[in-house]
């Protein structure tokens, strides 16, 4: 089995690179923008096109029947978002669509692969920077083939923390998000940041540029590949309440170590989010 997944891993890297080239090219042309769950949840023809290219290539290589696919744009068209024991690809074709639309230069292709509900490998191609992050379970994490590691900072006062605002702008949620950010800033930490792509944020944790990234409201396709990369770089993933990380829960803290993660968790004001695998009627 090990060899089989190695082939899939190598293929995912190739597919992510090719998808990133399509995104870069599309960014040079006029971008037509549509909206999804809210007026600030953007989608473009490129998101849909790139997802089709990625899933099409994977189906051609590995067969349609044996592998399952969870893709951001397919799920938005009401395809199932259920993680089973089957080999499953979890794909965000354009992570950072808002950045892509505005020409803000952090946009990533995120491809993860899970078997028996466990993540086997993850590939994040930050296509505007041309940086390829990848990790396979038990084999370390890499950026452009160089090993990467989380930072060894344990003192929260010497940390940089990433969080994002998300696309749900209901005043109660925005209030909680900003209240959490205020409390973290006032610990104080060295700084708060956000690249606008969850996948890239996780890679920034993995390569030690920041100590932690947390968010409520992200989706499995935003973080699945990054989750492997953070773990293999020596970091950890937790729920925002300090419990075990659950890929489908839409809640996540990724940190360089438990000390930093626990300190952040102390300040997080949790709000409700509907699970990715909830029945469609509840979404």
Ligand X SMILES: O=P(O)(O)OC(CO)CO
* Helix, coil or strand: residue 8: helix
- Give the CB-side neighbour count of residue 140, counting CA atoms within 13 A: 8
Q: β-pairing, 42-44 with 33-35?
A: antiparallel
* Interface pick for ligand X out of 48, 73, 95, 276 (rule CB under 6 A): 95
Three-state DSSP class for residue 249 = coil
102 vs 182, which CB is nearer to ligand X?
Answer: 102
Question: Is residue 277 classed exposed, middle or buried when 0-12, 13-18 and 19+ CB atoms within 10 A define those classes?
Answer: middle
Does the annotation flag 239 for ligand binding? no
Indicate whether 254 belongs to the interface with ligand X (CB under 6 A): no
Residue 51 engages ligand X in binding (rule: CB under 6 A): no
- The response to whether 152 counts as a known ligand-binding position is no
What are the structure tokens assigned to 94, written together?
């354009």
Q: Rule CB under 5 A: is residue 95 a binding residue for Mg ion?
A: yes
C-alpha to C-alpha distance for 96 and 204, rounded to whole angstroms? 15
95 annotated as belonging to a binding site for a ligand: yes
**Closest CB to ligand X among 154 and 165?**
165
- The minimum distance between CB 165 and ligand X, in angstroms, equals 10
Smallest gap from Cβ 198 to ligand X, in A, equals 4
Among 47, 48, 51, 92, binds Mg ion (CB under 5 A): 92
Q: Is 269 annotated as a binding residue?
A: no
Piece of the chain touching ligand X by CB under 6 A; list 26-34, 48-56, 93-101, 181-189: 93-101
Distance separating alpha carbons of residues 213 and 241, to the nearest angstrom? 14
- d(CA 92, CA 184) in angstroms, rounded, equals 29
Least spacing, CB of residue 11 vs Mg ion, in Å: 21
Q: Which of residues 200-239 bind Mg ion (CB under 5 A)?
A: 222
Q: Is 195 in the site for ligand X (CB under 6 A)?
A: no
Cα dihedral 276→278→280→281 (10° resolution): -140
Q: Is 96 in the site for ligand X (CB under 6 A)?
A: yes
Under the binding rule (CB under 5 A), the answer on residue 164 touching Mg ion is no
- Of 58-66, 215-223, 237-245, 270-278, the segment contacting ligand X by CB under 6 A is 215-223
Sole residue written with tokens 């089989």? 4
Site for ligand X in 99-158 (CB under 6 A): none
Cα distances from 18 to residues 86, 118, 125, in angstroms, run 26, 26, 10
Structure-derived torsion over alpha carbons of residues 116, 249, 94, 92, reported in degrees to the nearest 10: 10
Calculate the dihedral angle through the C-alpha atoms of 234, 235, 237, 242, rounding to the nearest 10 degrees.
120
Of residues 259 through 278, those in contact with ligand X by CB under 6 A are: none
Q: From the CB of 54, what's the least distance to Mg ion, in Å?
A: 13
User: Which parts are annotated binding residues for Mg(2+)?
Assistant: 72, 92, 95, 222
Q: Which residues bind ligand X (CB under 6 A)?
A: 72, 92, 94-97, 197-198, 218-219, 222
Annotated binding site: 72, 92, 95, 222
Q: Can you give the binding site for Mg ion, defined by CB under 5 A? A: 92, 95, 222
């Amino acid at each position: 089995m090990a060899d089989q997944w190695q082939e899939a891993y190598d293929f995912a890297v190739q597919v992510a690179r090719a998808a990133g080239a399509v995104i870069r090219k599309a960014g040079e042309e006029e971008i037509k923008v549509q909206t999804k769950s809210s007026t600030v949840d953007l989608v473009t023809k490129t998101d849909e096109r790139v997802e089709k290219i990625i899933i099409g290539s994977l189906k051609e290589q590995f067969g349609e029947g044996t592998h399952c696919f969870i893709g951001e744009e397919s799920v938005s068209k009401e395809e199932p978002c259920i993680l089973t024991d089957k080999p499953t690809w979890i794909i965000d074709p354009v992570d950072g669509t808002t950045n892509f639309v505005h020409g803000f230069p952090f946009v990533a292709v995120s491809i993860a692969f899970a078997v028996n509900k466990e993540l086997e490998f993850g590939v994040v191609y930050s296509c505007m920077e041309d940086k390829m992050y990848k990790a396979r379970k038990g084999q370390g994490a890499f950026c452009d083939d160089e090993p990467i590691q989380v930072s060894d900072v344990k003192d929260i006062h010497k940390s940089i923390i990433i969080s994002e605002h998300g696309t749900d702008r209901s005043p109660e949620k925005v209030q909680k998000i900003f209240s959490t950010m205020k409390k973290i800033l006032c610990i104080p930490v060295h700084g708060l940041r956000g690249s606008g792509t969850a996948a890239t944020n996780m890679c920034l944790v993995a390569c030690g540029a920041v100590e932690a990234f947390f968010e409520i409201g992200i989706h499995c396709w935003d973080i699945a590949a990054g989750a492997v990369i953070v773990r293999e770089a020596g970091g950890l993933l937790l729920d925002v309440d300090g419990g075990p990380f659950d890929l489908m829960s839409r809640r996540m803290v990724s940190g360089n170590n438990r000390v930093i993660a626990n300190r952040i968790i102390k300040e997080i004001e949790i709000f409700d989010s509907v699970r990715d695998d909830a029945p469609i009627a509840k979404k």
